[in-house]
Copies of this chain bind each other. A is one copy, B any other.
Amino acid sequence: MIKDETVLLRIPCRYIGVAVLSLLAISTKNSVGSDLYQDQSGADNVRRLLDSQVAAWNKGDLKGFMAGYWKSEKLTFFSGDKIEHGWQATYDRYQKRYQAEGREMGTLTFSELKIEIIGPEMAWVRGRWKLVTSKETPRGLFTLVFKKLPEGWRIVHDHTSAGQ
């Protein structure tokens, strides 16, 4: 006799296997995701993007440099006490400062980069920048927030400061 609280199951073994594996897959999905935060793939991609920005800048290719930024009205660029909202405003700022009459783009380097991957889709980066032009050598710091978008990792926020 089977008591009220007991159930009799006739389940082909292969289905039990599939069910157990499926549940394990679901329950471990996120811990595998967490491990990814530690690995180098996100950091490598962010690093490559920064390298490509520097390479573009040093060829005088401002559009190539700007390809590292989120092409959105929601991009923010902080400098001094001035906020630029959006990709176009950020591009215009760079153009005015470095491509206008009598200006030059010079040679850019980044150093002391610290790339921190927060999750599968977010990262933040600290570093130093230095620009060597024929007249001066401005330098300073930046804090960048990155997001992994369908088009790849992009800077969604840039806070840049210069030495005084």
Q: Does B10 contact A83, Cβ atoms closer than 8 Å?
A: no
Q: Does A8 contact B9, Cβ atoms closer than 8 Å?
A: yes
- Binding site secondary structure of chain A: strand
**Any B CB within 8 A of the CB of A11:** yes
Chain A: how many interface residues by the 8 Å CB criterion? 46
Q: Does A159 contact B159, Cβ atoms closer than 8 Å?
A: yes
Which residue of chain B is the closest to A156 with respect to CB atoms? B116
B residues in contact with A23, CB < 8 Å? 23, 27
Copies in the complex: 2
**Any B CB within 8 A of the CB of A18:** no
Q: Does A126 contact B12, Cβ atoms closer than 8 Å?
A: no
- Do A159 and B143 form a contact, CB below 8 Å, given A7-B11, A11-B6? yes
Give A residues with C-beta under 8 Å from B.
2, 5-14, 16, 23, 26-27, 29-31, 33, 76, 78-83, 112, 118-119, 122, 124, 126, 128, 139-143, 145, 157, 159-164
Other than A23-B23, A81-B161, give 14 A-B pairs with Cβ distance below 8 A.
A5-B12, A6-B10, A7-B11, A7-B12, A9-B9, A78-B143, A79-B161, A80-B162, A81-B139, A81-B162, A122-B122, A126-B157, A126-B159, A143-B145
